[in-house]
Structure 1
Amino acid sequence: MVVAARRTPIGTAGRSLSGITVDQLAAPVLAATVQELRESGVGARVSSSDAGLDVADVVLGNCMGPGGNVARVSALSAGLGVSVPGVTVDRQCGSGLAAILQAAQSVRAGDADLVLAGGAESASTAPLRAHRGSGAEPDVVYERAPFTPPEFGDPDMGVAAETLATARGVSRRRQDAYAAASHAKALAARDAGRFEAELVAVGGLHHDERPRSLRASTLARMPAAFVPGGSVTAGNSCPVSDGAAAVGIVTSGARSGVAGLRLVSGAIVGCDPRQPGWGPVPATERVLEAAGLKIGDVAAVEIVEAFAGQVLAVTDALGLDPLGRDADVVCADGGALALGHPWGASGAVVVVRLFSRLVLGGAPAGTLGLACAAVGGGLGVAALFEVVRGPC
């Protein structure tokens, strides 16, 4: 049961959060989540001492950090105490959501009453990686580790998004329209204060850095970013970003009547590595099948918006119309296209957004929300949640 959810503002890499390391992004979010749990009264139910909450573990997603155990460093920096361990999960862009599923499994199994889970990424401070040279040969710096063996193609995500958009017939016009809509939704949500309750200011940044007003004419003039003559551009793609997000997961018995999101079902699946953006489709189908539900039963969908073409390919396949009848269902306050995509954190950001939309937004008990993400290498991650209110 998710009963608390917080995130940092998301900063564009190299800008406002560029000097803050990944653990320094995660620590204040973890601390704020613990404080939210205390204030809600949940802490009194799981505490075994006057010192406060008994956090059994911290599970954080991270992709490009410094190595070691980012979760452990972050937990100590957050003041959680030396008895709280920490484990770092790497499922690339699905890491934050995978971390939440892993934490929920621990709670559901009865191994813990309270686990903090989420993700963090500082693209700005991520270290350079290099293959060590030998003798007279220099070290060779490389941008990323392989997503797959070479025989599976191992495409960069931008190229893969182009391949998927072409295969699924997603036009440039629709991609640009979706990107513009994401920014417009995010600006409207920010102006209306719908992000405020979930945000933890860090590094002097109080609001998401990227959302802006986009004109269709401006987007139409942007050149292809990854494939000559293609439809995927910088305008309809997410930016590289910095940020962190975390949630507090407790047993149903420990929630003390506090409203939250109950995990109904979760899934992590594989798909064709040449079209990794397709992953949310089989993952979503699996969680819906496990729950005996259809996509039309879901009131809120939060998908990591890596590329507009990828989102539209997925929503088309699932029978959703985010540019029409389902505009208030799919990323109703904008997504990663407008807010930014801190890789290891984004899967947790979408759960924070579901929590704000449904729990803080007053959705009635039983309302369903879906979080999902595509992952480099050909993976999909999805989680289905249900709003719970009232006594246990």
Structure 2
Amino acid sequence: MAENLLPVIIAARRTAIAVRGGRLSQVGAEHLAGPIVRRCVADAEQATGQRAEVADVILGNCMGPGGNIGRISALAAGLHATVPGMGLDRQCGSGLSAIITAGEAIGAGDHRMRIAGGVESASTAPVRLAEGSPYARAPFAPAGFPDPEMGSAAEALAGKFDISRVAQDDYASRSHRRALIAQQRGIFDDEIVSVEGVLHDDGPRQTTTRLLSRFMPLFAEPDNGTEGTVTAGNSCRICDGAAAVAMISGSSRRDAPGLALRASVTIGCDPALPGIGPVDAVRSILRKADVSMSKIAAVEIVEAFSAQTLAVLRSLDLADDHRVDPRVCADGGALALGHPWGASGAISVVRLFSRLVRQDAPAGTLGLATAAIGGGMGVAAIFEVVR
């Protein structure tokens, strides 16, 4: 694809991330996403110096109210009634997949702007019923296939890759430390839009790093001699939040700096080990983009669990028993900030935008975003700084 036809992100924003039942618990999904959509449009208009013609609003969402969250959020944002919208569910990869979907439409020749991202209001998610009884989630696989809960799947990866409790706690501590430093330095300030006056993430905490060793394993099986290593401390918290980007064709960006979508891959894996999905996705996308990992300047992975994240990073030679590559989640990740499922993949892209575009990385610098997906999938995208 010619460079000027590559889809380019020229604006990227998110809400603060609040724990379920916390400061954003009274805000429905469309009212989390609406201000972000509106701000992305305004940022894009400022960057290009021209009025935006929004072709679509594409938002990922996992457990929300239904009713096409993209369209509802577009209306809540105050966009013209002619602007359509679309909801997308690829579980924890939803936000990133929505951005990829927007980029594919632009790459196919429709150069109008798209707003894409994700939103999750875990606090206001409706209760779902199956055969008259409430259930926590829909199946990720049909009967006869493995369909583990995500925590149990993370514990399985810890066993398969011999990832100790200490290593998991150390990684969680790293995420909190880095997020606290970023928060104190105001690194998140330019990406957060106020919703209900909330401007700071709940998650990063000094106390968490001191208390990690005290958390009890969640999936121990004493009858089978299994002590367990996955705890609430080295797992992400369920949260409320939204994130989105404004994406246009490179031919219409008018020298606005941004992130061009170079390549994307979504791929399936063994549903018994869903957290390992990013490994093949990343390997595939590096081949597709014809770049080596050494050329990637920034990596953002959705940190659902320390065990799951370390299994991926070790498989990609981005971590071992003694170190984690500093390119990975340099300002902390979902273990510290929280995991609003449908939004988290988009939050990763917002983070790349801040790390690379807002912090003046030179043109040509590459960033990678990736996430594991329930049911056994991985999604990855490579972005390139343009100026």
Report the Cα distance in structure 1 between the residues aligned to 2:231 and 2:79, rounded to whole angstroms.
Answer: 43
What residue in structure 2 maps to residue 47 of structure 1?
A: none
Report the Cα distance in structure 1 between the residues aligned to 2:293 and 2:312, rounded to whole angstroms.
Answer: 12
What residue in structure 1 maps to residue 11 of structure 2?
A: 4
Counterpart secondary structure, 1:60: strand
Report the Cα distance in structure 2 between the residues aligned to 1:328 and 1:193, rounded to whole angstroms.
Answer: 20
What amino acid does structure 1 have at the position aligned with 2:21? Answer: G
Q: Is the 8 A contact 1:260 1:355 kept in 2?
A: yes
TM-score, normalised via structure 1 length: 0.93
Report the Cα distance in structure 2 between the residues aligned to 1:112 and 1:341, rounded to whole angstroms.
Answer: 32
Alignment of 1:193-342 (within 5 A): 193-214=186-207, 218-228=211-221, 229-321=227-319, 326-342=324-340
Tell me whether 1:179 sits opposite 2:186 in the alignment: no
What residue in structure 2 maps to residue 378 of structure 1?
A: 376
What residue in structure 2 maps to residue 29 of structure 1?
A: 36
What amino acid does structure 2 have at the position aligned with 1:293? Answer: V
Q: Is the 8 A contact 2:102 2:116 kept in 1?
A: yes
TM-score, normalised via structure 2 length: 0.95
Counterpart secondary structure, 2:30: helix
Determine which of 162, 185, 189 is the counterpart of 2:182: 189
What residue in structure 2 maps to residue 136 of structure 1?
A: none
Between 325-334 and 114-123, report the one with greater CA deviation. 325-334
Shift of 1:111: 2.0
Determine which of 134, 137, 148 is the counterpart of 1:155: 148
What residue in structure 2 maps to residue 83 of structure 1?
A: 82
- Residues 12-53 of structure 1: CA distance to partner in whole angstroms, max 9, x if unpaired? 00010000000000000001111111121x251xxxxxxx31
Q: Is the 8 A contact 2:208 2:233 kept in 1?
A: no
Report the Cα distance in structure 1 between the residues aligned to 2:380 and 2:197, rounded to whole angstroms.
Answer: 33
- Residues 224-273 of structure 1: CA distance to partner in whole angstroms, max 9, x if unpaired? 11333211000000000000000011000111101111111100100000
What amino acid does structure 2 have at the position aligned with 1:187? Answer: L
Between 214-223 and 31-40, report the one with greater CA deviation. 214-223
Tell me whether 1:359 sits opposite 2:383 in the alignment: no
Q: Is the 8 A contact 1:322 1:328 kept in 2?
A: no
Tell me whether 1:69 sits opposite 2:60 in the alignment: no
Counterpart secondary structure, 1:152: coil
Report the Cα distance in structure 1 between the residues aligned to 2:281 and 2:49, rounded to whole angstroms.
Answer: 33
What residue in structure 1 maps to residue 163 of structure 2?
A: 170
Between 325-334 and 337-346, report the one with greater CA deviation. 325-334
What residue in structure 2 maps to residue 92 of structure 1?
A: 91
Q: Is the 8 A contact 2:263 2:382 kept in 1?
A: yes
Structure 1 unaligned segments of length 5 or more: list them: 45-51, 133-138
Shift of 1:105: 0.1
Counterpart secondary structure, 1:369: strand
Q: Is the 8 A contact 1:350 1:371 kept in 2?
A: yes
